[in-house]
Amino acid sequence: MRLFDPDGLIAGSPDPAPGSAAGPGSPGSGAAGPSVAPGPTRRLRMVVAYDGSRFRGFAAQTGAKPPRTVAGELARAITKVAGHEVRIVCAGRTDAGVHARGQVIHVDVTEALDPASLARSLNSMLGPEVVVRSAELAPAGFDARHSATERSYRYLVYESPVPDPLLAAMSWHVEGPLDLRAMAQAADAFVGEHDFRALCRRPPGAGRDEPLVRRVTDARWSIVGVPPELSDARYEDAVPARLLRFDVCAQAFCHQMVRSMVGLLVLVGRGRRPAADVPWLLASGRRQSGVPLAPASGLCLVSVDYS
């Protein structure tokens, strides 16, 4: 049994089948209300967006005074509307401070609850910090975690001689200049199937030699640009500041994988490590203390694919 899985809310616990209700004390359940739904249930699929700045991650936590989490807030709100406790399962469990535009969850609720009405109620209660972008009946057999075929993350780097307070909550300020061509070359080495032990936090209970193989289908940098009001930020050689975007897609990710990838790529961009180091680092299978972990604020779960 795996004790940790960064791509699911709860690892090692079977999801209840559609039509069944979560019991009292079940992971992700609401804090109050009846322990079972009054009658038959049906599974809803929701796409959720949130600003993760003030949350201790997505997954609900236990304890006398559990920290504030996205799943905890969603579960309490859904419980209040539905009148029974719920168990939330997500496609990708995000860490403290990480944002989402396209997080996908499923939840089993009473058949009498209309998905659109539920979404409106949740947005009224939780928005704008947490927003349900869509809510619909899930297809037969749908599981937000296990049915996912690809997850896409985005990381923003604000390359500027000075930080900007309006971008701080959604990006990593890096005093460039950065060699974007070298960073793009280094990112190419991530594409394909690799053992990412060198860039991931080891799951509890995993052996030192246990591989963490993931297949990355895309890893690329692009220039987003800078809002006009920030265009006056320039380096001494008149090079303007810019907002850089790193997009990476994979079927699954291990813990801290994307943030470590970005940290390594920024080292390359600063000229502190050559792009050729990336294949060597992956092949080593050992986490390197010299690779910085990029701040959580720049990371966002953009979308989850179920094709």
Residue from 80, 79, 101 nearest 91 by CA: 101
User: 278-303 burial string, b = 16+ CB within 10 Å, else e?
Assistant: beebbeeeebeeebeebbbbbbbbbb
Does the annotation count 95 as an active-site position? yes
Residues 6+ apart with CB under 8 A from 302: 101, 102, 152, 153, 154, 247
- Measuring CA to CA, how many Å separate 263 from each of 73, 144, 183, 208, 272? 31, 29, 11, 23, 12
Angle of helix 70-82 relative to helix 115-126, nearest 10 degrees, comes to 130
Q: Which residue has the tokens 């953009």?
A: 302
Q: Return d(Cα 269, Cα 285) in angstroms, integer.
A: 23
What end-to-end distance do the CA atoms of the chain give, in Å?
27
Q: Which one of the listed residues 7, 15, 95, 277 is annotated catalytic?
A: 95
Q: Which residues are catalytic?
A: 95
